[in-house]
Amino acid sequence: MSYNITCWKSKKVELVIPVDTLLRCGYSIHVHKAGEETEIRVDHNQGSEMFDMRGSIVGSDLLCVRQIESGGVASGTFHLELKALLAESKGTMEAILVWEGGDYIERLTVVDGVVTEEEVDL
């Protein structure tokens, strides 16, 4: 049993990830149309229970990510996969993660592929 994320709160998500990187890492891409709006949702067959990545395609080969969340069952194990993907991104992201109901709280920051995790003291 893995140590899991109870709550994920994204404070800022402005990332670009190459589509071929997503596919190579086992992610699948789904297109959802609502009227004039087209939204891209990303999934992973080994993802966590509450994994959610959304954005839009720029050109033909880049995903402009505007939302990422993960948590619930398998989120601890999947977190390693997700960090590897974030390491191949450009742009910035900041999120606060609460592990196992508050046992550990961390700030996850990504700046042009550099992933940093630091404990948050309350």
Q: What is the mean pLDDT of residues 4-30?
A: 94
Any idea what the Cα angle at residue 105 is, between residues 102 and 106, rounded to 5°?
160
H/E stretch holding 43:
strand 37-44
pLDDT tens per residue across span 2-15: 689 999 999 999 99
Residue 44 clears pLDDT 90, i.e. is over it: no
Q: Which strands form 62-69's sheet, in the order they lie side by side?
A: 27-34, 37-44, 52-58, 62-69, 5-18, 90-99, 104-111, 114-119
Instruction: Give the model's pLDDT for residue 42.
Output: 94
* C-alpha–C-alpha distance, residues 122 and 116, integer Å: 19
Q: Which residue has the higher pLDDT, 99 or 121?
A: 99
pLDDT tens per residue across span 58-98: 888 999 999 999 999 999 889 999 999 999 999 999 999 99
Confidence of residue 113 (pLDDT cuts 50, 70, 90): very high
pTM score, whole prediction: 0.90
